[in-house]
Structure 1
Amino acid sequence: MNLEIIKAIKGLLDIPQKIVIIPHKNPDGDAIGSTLGLWHFLKGKDQDATIIVPNDFPKFLKWMPGSEEIVNFEKDPSVAKSLINNASVIFTLDFNHLGRIGQLQPLLESSSAAFVMIDHHQEPDDYAKIMYSDVGMSSTCEMVFNVIEGLGELESITPDLAISLYTGIMTDTGSFKYSSTTSRTHLVVAKLIEKGAKNTEAHNKVYDTNTPSRLHLLGCALKNMVILEEYHTAFITLSQDELDTYNYKKGDTEGFVNYGLTLEGIVFAVIFIENREEGIIKISFRSEGDFSVNEFARAHFNGGGHTNAAGGRSDVSIEETISLFKSLLPQYKDDLNA
C-alpha cells in the first residue's frame, strides 16, 4: 500500500489520541470485523479507542472478541456523542460517504477530529484527512491487515485481532468464492490463521447458528422468488407482514439474495425487503460477470457499492418498487445477455 498513507497513520499514532472507530449503519461482518480488528490493535498500542456503531448488528457477530465493548448510538446516544465530541482521531471503516452512518452524520460533520478512511467501495467522498481507498480489495478487513503490516506491527496481531479480521474477510468474500478473493487474500488469511484465528470456529459461529424461524423465513423468501429468464434475472420480495410472521431479527435475511445466483443462467439477483418503521424498501443487488450493480443501484435506487454487490432503497411501496425495477430491465437487456 501507499507509503505516504502509512507515514500519515504512523504520525497520528505516535502520540496518545482519543480515537473513535465507526462502521456504516446496519454493520455486517466486514464492518464489525474490521472495526474490532483495528480496535484490538490500537488498544495493544495503549491508545484510548472506542467503537461506535450507528445501530445494532446481528447476533451471529456478537461472539467476536471485544464486541461487548462496542457502543451502540441508538442505545447510548449521550455516551456516543461525548466520545465523538472529544475524539482527536476518527477512523471510518467500510464506508466512504457520511450518508452511510445515519444519525451519526451531523455529529461527524461538525467534528474537528482528524479523519482516517479505510474502505473498498467505489466513488469515495473526500471528507477524510487520510484516505486508504482501494476498490480492488476483498474487504476492509484485508485493508486493516495491510495497515498493520505497513506499520511493521505484524507481531502485534493477537488471536482476538486475527479472528476479527478473518471473520470479516470470510463474510465479505462469500467464504472466499467471490472474484475479489485474490492470492494475496489467501496469504493474509494464512497469516491470520497462523496468528491464532480459528477458521472452523468462525465459520460455525457465523453460518451454523440458524433458528427455526430464520429457516422458515428463508423458505418464504424462496417461495416468493420470481425468475425473469429473458433478462437472466431473479428477484425475491419480503413484506413487513412476512418478516413479522417469521419473527424477523436483524441479520436474518443475510445472504438470501445470493440464492438467485445459484440458478443456472441467472446473472442478476435482487431482494426487496419492506421496512415499515423506516418507510423504505431495502434492496440488495448481486451479479456475476461484468454487469455492474453498483452503477444500477446508483442510477435508480439511491445506492451503490461494488461491481457485483451493492445496496439501495426505495421510498415507494414494494409493489411500485417492483414495477419500477421491472420497467428498467429492458434497457439493460443487452448487458444482461452479454
Structure 2
Amino acid sequence: MQDIISFKKILDKPKRIVIVPHVNPDADALGSCLGLASVLKKKGHEVKVISPTDYPEFLHWMKGNDEVMIYNAGNEKAGKDIIDQAEIIFCLDFCALKRADKMEEPIRNAAATKVLIDHHHGKEDFADFECWNTKAAATCELIYQLVVDMDERQLIDKHVAEALYAGVMTDTGSFRHPNTTKHVHEVVAELIDLGADVSKVSKLVYDNNSLNRLRFIGFALSERLEILKEYNTAYFAISAEDLSKFSSRTGDTEGLVNYALSIVGVTMAAIIIEREDAVKLSFRSVGDFPVNELAAKHFEGGGHKNAAGGISHVGIKETVQKFLELLPEYKKQLHKNQKKQELYLT
C-alpha cells in the first residue's frame, strides 16, 4: 500500500464496507475476501462480501462462507443497494472492473472509496487506494502483508490464517510454480504459526471430490484430450452436453487443464468450455511462453504469464477452430520454449 497512513486513517472508525472478488472466485479470491472481512469485522466495521457469481463447493468450508451474497443469484437489486450505501469497496484478486461481471457498473458508479488489492497484470485506474504487486504469488499474500503493515497481525486467527493459506497454496500450485518465492514461504510460516492447519486445508481443497467429478475427469482425459505435438500444445474441448452428462457443478473443471500441461513435451495447455452465456477458455504454460498475451490479443482475456483466461462469443466448434488456426503463429515460440525447458531440466 503506497499510502498506508491515509489508508489506516479511513479505517479508524466503523464503516459500511463491501468486499468483492472476481467472477467465478477461486481459493485466492474467496480466501482473501473472507480473511479480510473477518479482520475488518473485528475492528468494528459492518462488512458484506458480495460475489459476482457462485464458486466451488470445496471452498465452502471457509469461515464466513454462509454470509456471502451471490449477486447473479437473484440478488442484483439487494446487492446494488448495499453497494450504493457502502463507504468503502474492496476489489480483491482483480484489477479491471470488467472482472466483476454484472457488478461492474454498480461498483464503478458507487460513491464509496475504492480499494484495489491484486497481483494480476492489466490494471485499470479506478481505485483510490491500491495494493498492487504483480510479483506477488497471491492476493492472500498481499492481504497478510497489508494486515501486518496496519499493525493488526493479532486479528489473524486460525480461520483467517487457513483462508489465506488456501489462496497462497492454490495460486502457487502447491508451491510448485516459479512464483513460490522466499517471501511466500515466510508468509506461510507465519500463517502456520497463527494456527493454519495445512494438512486440513490441503485435504479440503484437493481431496473433496464428488463421484461425478472423478468420472467427468476420467471422461475428459480419455475422450476430450487432444495433443498437438507439432505445436507442443494440448487442449480439452468440453461441451455443455459433456457437463450435463456428468451433472457437473461449479468447480468440477477446476485444475483439469493442468493434466494437459503435465504431459511431456507440452509447453501450452488449454481448456475450452461451453457455458450458457459464452465459451470460456483457460490457458496454462511453462517457461517463458506468455499465455496472458495470447488471451488478451485473441480472447478478450488476460492474467499471468503462465496462467490466463479468456472468453469467446461464438460456438465451441468455432472457438476451437479459431484456437487451432492461431497455433501456427506461435509455433516457433512454443518450440523454442520447449527446448529451453528441456535444457532447464537436464
Is 2:68 the partner of 1:70? yes
Q: Is the contact between residue 97 and residue 125 of structure 1 (CA under 8 Å) also seen in structure 2?
A: yes
Match of 1:144, as an amino acid?
I
The offset of 1:55, in angstroms, is 1.3
SS of match in other structure, 1:186: helix
Which AA in structure 1 matches 2:332? D
| Map 1:147-162 → 2, pairs under 5 A | 147-162=146-161
Matched, 1:322 2:300: no
In structure 2, C-alpha distance between the alignment counterparts of 1:155 and 1:109, rounded to whole Å: 33
What is the rounded CA distance, in whole Å, between the counterparts of 1:28 and 1:198 in structure 2? 19
TM-superposed deviation, 1:99: 0.6
The CA distance in 1 between the partners of 2:268 and 2:72, in whole Å, is 34
The 8 Å contact of residues 8 and 130 in structure 1, kept in 2 or not, is answered as no
Cα deviation, residue 207, structure 1? 0.9
Contact 2:52 2:100 in 1 (8 A): yes
Aligned to 2:265: 265
Residue among 286, 289, 298 paired with 2:284: 286
Distance 1:233 1:219 in 2: 20
Give the stretch that moved more between structures: 68-77 or 133-142: 68-77
- What is the alpha-carbon root mean square deviation over aligned residues? 1.0
Which of 284, 291, 299 in structure 2 is aligned with 1:301? 299
- Give the Cα–Cα distance (whole angstroms) in 1 for the partners of residues 321 and 79 of structure 2: 41
Separation in structure 1 between the aligned mates of residue 317 and residue 207 of structure 2, nearest angstrom: 33
Q: Which consecutive aligned stretches of 4+ in structure 1 deviate over 3 angstroms post-superposition? A: none
1:315 Cα deviation from its structure 2 partner: 1.0
TM-score after normalising by structure 1 = 0.97
Deviation track 1:198-250 (CA, whole Å, cap 9, x = no partner) reads: 11110111111111110111112112111111111000111100100001000
Return the alpha-carbon distance in structure 2 between the equivalents of residues 54 and 318 of structure 1: 24
Q: Does 1:128 align with 2:127?
A: yes
Residue 142 of structure 1: aligned partner: 141
Q: Equivalents in 2 of 1:271, 1:240: separation in Å?
A: 13
Asked if the contact 2:48/2:68 (under 8 Å) is kept, the reply is yes
Q: Report matched runs for 1:31-70 at 5 Å.
A: 31-70=29-68
In structure 2, runs of 5+ residues without a counterpart are 337-346
1:8-59 CA distance string (max 9 Å, x none): 3212111221110000111111010000110011011111111010111110
Aligned residue for 2:3, secondary structure, equals: helix
Q: Partners of 1:156 and 1:209 in 2: how far apart?
A: 29
CA distance in 2, matches of 1:81, 1:48: 16
Unaligned runs of 5+ in 1: none
Amino acid paired to 1:201: K
1:196 maps to 195
CA contact (8 A) 1:36 1:161 kept: yes
The corresponding residue for 1:227 is: 227
Aligned residue pairs, count:
334
Aligned 8 A contact 1:5 1:132 in 2: no
SS at match of 1:337: helix
Looking at structure 1, the residues matched to 201 and 25 of structure 2 have their Cα atoms a distance apart, in angstroms, of 17
Query: Which residue in 2 is equivalent to 1:113?
Result: 112
- Give, as a single letter, the amino acid of the residue that structure 1 aligns with 2:263: L
Give the letter aligned to residue 249 of structure 1: R
Match of 1:94? 93
Describe the SS at the equivalent of 1:25: coil
Q: Is the CA contact 1:137–1:143 (under 8 Å) kept in the aligned structure 2? A: yes
Q: Equivalent residue for 2:255?
A: 255
Q: Per-residue deviation at 1:309?
A: 0.2
Matching residue of 2:184? 185
69-78 or 11-20, which moves further after superposition? 69-78
Tell me how far 1:274 sits from its aligned partner: 0.5
> What percent identity do the matched residue pairs reach?
43
| TM-score, structure 2 as length reference | 0.95
Hey, what does 1:173 align to over in structure 2?
172
Q: Secondary structure at the match of 1:175?
A: coil
Distance 1:243 1:332 in 2: 30
* One-letter amino acid of the counterpart of residue 106, structure 2: L
Structure 2 CA distance for aligned equivalents of residues 290 and 8 of structure 1: 39
Once the two structures are TM-superposed, the CA of residue 133 in structure 1 deviates from its matched residue by 1.1
